[in-house]
Structure 1
Amino acid sequence: MASSTDPLLVARIGKPHGLRGEVTVQTHTDDPERRFAPGTVFATQAAAGTGVPRELTLATARKHGEIWLLGFEEIPDRTGAESLRGTRLLLDLDGVDEDEDDDEGWYEHDLVGLAVHDPAGAVLGEVRGLTVGAAQDLLEVKLTDGREVLVPFVEAIVTSVDVEGGHVVVDAPAGLFDLDEA
């Protein structure tokens, strides 16, 4: 489980957009307008050997339809933007406003590592990640038998999230964990 000093995942970089170094991003924040302010310095997390700078300074941010496009001071062109694909943009939690903790959402770093229990308390597996979707988010869960499944992150199925207690409760409808076997 993440500690309070872990950085906050704000976005994952997708493909380049245009010729001037802009990239698409998959947002992991409920307040992109505030997070994507020009001048914001993001720590980066990328695969070894990609040459991605340890920090990127946001130069531009705009929405194109439903997709956020970001440009960085360090990335002048499409070739540089291509090298960023898959990079995670992180913010130091010391820079996050305290009032953000008042919302009812969770960040991926809050959820990864939590045990997954059924309503009776039996351990089903562990949360491995969070996939942010247009319609709904999905918990990436590794079951105790080694299979990996996606669980819709909706109140009807994920009935309880107890970050301090170290677990989530999943009331899975019949067949949810067997979809890959169909």
Structure 2
Amino acid sequence: MQVLVIVGRIGRAHGIKGEIGMIVRTDDPDLRFADGAKLVTASNPPRTLTVQSSRWHSGRLLVKFAEVPDRTAAELLRNLEVQSEIDEDERPEDPDEYYDRELIGLKVRTATGEDAGEVIDVIHLPSQDLLEIRRPAGNAVLVPLVAELVPEIDLDAQYVTVADRPGLLDPDGAEVVPTDEA
């Protein structure tokens, strides 16, 4: 069975011939954006785009889609996420990498084993990824997806462990640092 995974977000148009700067969201951009690759936009309705060519320019991936003839057409696609079809059982090569679909729905617990909620989304920011966690009380918190704060992800047992840090899972429990007011 095939599933869709997000591999990038369309950025600014580059030049007048329809090239697009791609914000890459995959560890294998040379495979996902190879000539002839079919990508699907995360739009309503979805649109299939065929990679005509791709190249690296000043540290940025530029992609030309066969269906995008010029700059005007490229600008209309700006900020759309693009997805690639993969086998449902496919895993990233790096054991510390995960697809969003693998993390969403996992139970969250603290290092002491206390139920802390459920992962409801993975948010990708330029600096780092965040887990959006719905707490048992119904509110949601964001936790940076870094080893210091999320030391364990067990896909087989269907849970992630989040560090017990003041204010991380309970913003009301954050430590207040006194400031010098003059």
Structure 1 residue 95, shift from structure 2 partner: 9.8
Partner Cα distance (1:142, 1:26) in 2:
28
Partner residue in 2 for 1:93: 86
- Of structures 1 and 2, the one with the larger relative CO (CA 8 A, separation 6+) is 1
Partner residue in 1 for 2:64: 71
Q: Quick check: 1:115–1:167 contact (8 Å CA) kept in 2?
A: yes
Q: Compared with structure 1, are the counterparts of its residues 94 and 107 closer, same or farther at alpha carbon in structure 2 (3 Å cutoff)?
A: closer
Partner Cα distance (2:127, 2:158) in 1:
27
Unmatched runs of 5 consecutive residues or more in structure 1: none
Partner Cα distance (2:66, 2:88) in 1:
20
1:39 equivalent in alignment to 2:36: yes
Partner Cα distance (2:132, 2:75) in 1:
27
Unmatched runs of 5 consecutive residues or more in structure 2: 177-182
Query: What value does the CA root-mean-square deviation take over the aligned residues?
Result: 2.8
Partner residue in 2 for 1:145: 137
Q: Quick check: 1:128–1:140 contact (8 Å CA) kept in 2?
A: yes
Question: TM-score, normalised on structure 2?
Answer: 0.78
Q: Compared with structure 1, are the counterparts of its residues 149 and 70 closer, same or farther at alpha carbon in structure 2 (3 Å cutoff)?
A: farther
SS of aligned partner of 1:34: helix
Question: TM-score, normalised on structure 1?
Answer: 0.78
Partner residue in 2 for 1:126: 118
Q: Compared with structure 1, are the counterparts of its residues 95 and 169 closer, same or farther at alpha carbon in structure 2 (3 Å cutoff)?
A: closer
Q: Deviations over 1:85-140 (max 9, x none)?
A: 332322221399x6x54421111121122222112222222223223344432222
Match for residue 167 of structure 1 among 141, 153, 159: 159
Q: Quick check: 2:128–2:144 contact (8 Å CA) kept in 1?
A: yes
Q: Deviations over 1:57-97 (max 9, x none)?
A: 0112223334322221001122222222332322221399x
Figure out how many residues of one structure are paired with residues of the other and give that number. 172
SS of aligned partner of 1:92: strand
